[in-house]
Amino acid sequence: MLKKLKIVFGSKLAQLLISGLLVYVAFRKVDVVKLLGEVHQAPWWAVVAILVYMGFSMLIGGIRWSILVLGKAKLRDVLAFTRATYAGCFYSLFFPTSVAGDFLKWTSLLKQYPEISKLKLAGTAIVDRVIGFSAFSMAALMALIAGKILNYSFPGILLWLFLGINAGLVVFYALVFYIDFEKILSKYSFLKGILEVVDLLKNSNKKRILICYLISLLSEPIWMMMTWFSSLIFGAGISLMQVLIFMPIISLILVLPISWAGFGARENLFLVFFGQLGFSTEKLLLVSTFTGIMGILNSLLGGLMLLF
């Protein structure tokens, strides 16, 4: 146990160091004190409005996960799973990757749903993450293709990387929908317990996966628009179309666990992708930093919910 904790904290320390280095690279040519002062001057109503808007996105996540687990979810179920989704965001602040939050967020549902096994709750949390990532990857690929059509510049490797990721996901879903896992696993008594984890992969439940994938795909623009709102607050001038093209790509790259809460990496990616459009470096860093701070506040709300 002590060894595992050392690995976790060691990874988090490495992330903090990398974030510090990347933050230095991004901010070395700007007046950091002045920039932070401008962030602090953001209207309180804008902060509250964005947190409420982010809450709407979290609610969509709660709807998706509750459908995966229960099929037909009532309002109280949606609220419970939304609260658990918030908890996952909070846990992710203290672990090397956001996926770590998925391994813990289901624990907040144990008392409310004693009839559902721990294996099923944990398994659906991971499946929910895979579905969300699948929609994320498709949105990034479509955004990249649209950006190329509009003659925006992208590193050549990104197209092949995103194509590879989506091809892998297509293979995964092909296996999910065409292999009868229930029949295969039931043949081996020592594997029967796994059926609880892969309950969603039973033929009778696969419709849930398709529904939740469509929910994820349709909700992607909702999450991305927060950057546009931040741009409006600080007068950065980034258009909605530019946000919808570049943010899915930036967000997919940020899935890599190379920095804490995306700080440093996000700022540099803003400068690389939005910088080519001629926007002010200071404005881009302002929007990026504010977006990161709002993400932290949103995650801390998950911690508050765990207290009550």
Interval 165-189: pLDDT, tens: 999 999 888 877 777 766 666 666 6
Instruction: Say what the pLDDT of residue 116 is.
Output: 85
Q: Which one, of 193, 251, 203, 189, lies nearest residue 225 by Cα?
A: 251
The predicted model gives 31-57 an average pLDDT of 88
Checking if the pLDDT of 12 tops 70, the result is: no
- Please provide residue 289's backbone torsions phi and psi, each rounded to the nearest 5 degrees: -65, -45
Q: How confident is the model at residue 219 (pLDDT cuts 50, 70, 90)?
A: confident
Distances (CA, A) of 237 to 166, 228, 246, 287: 32, 9, 14, 10
The predicted model gives 263-289 an average pLDDT of 91
Checking if the pLDDT of 89 tops 60, the result is: yes
Q: How far apart are the first and last CA of the chain?
A: 29
Give me 223's structure tokens. 């999450």
Number of domains comprising the chain: 1
The predicted model gives 296-306 an average pLDDT of 88
DSSP-derived 3-state class of residue 254: coil
Mean pLDDT score across all residues of the chain? 84
The predicted model gives 58-81 an average pLDDT of 91
Q: State how far the Cα of 244 lies from the Cα of 150, in Å rounded to an integer.
A: 13
What ranges in the chain are assigned the alpha helix state H? 2-27, 32-40, 44-70, 75-92, 99-105, 118-149, 156-178, 181-185, 194-197, 206-234, 240-253, 265-273, 281-307
Domain that holds residue 223: 2-307
Instruction: Say what the pLDDT of residue 9 is.
Output: 47
Say if CB 273 and CB 250 are below 8 A apart.
Answer: yes
Q: State how far the Cα of 189 lies from the Cα of 177, in Å rounded to an integer.
A: 23
Q: What percent of the chain lies above the pLDDT cut of 70?
A: 86
Checking if the pLDDT of 257 tops 50, the result is: yes
Instruction: Say what the pLDDT of residue 179 is.
Output: 74
Checking if the pLDDT of 7 tops 80, the result is: no
Say if CB 293 and CB 52 are below 8 A apart.
Answer: no
Instruction: Say what the pLDDT of residue 36 is.
Output: 81
Q: State how far the Cα of 145 lies from the Cα of 13, in Å rounded to an integer.
A: 36
Checking if the pLDDT of 149 tops 70, the result is: yes
Instruction: Say what the pLDDT of residue 6 is.
Output: 46
The predicted model gives 131-155 an average pLDDT of 91
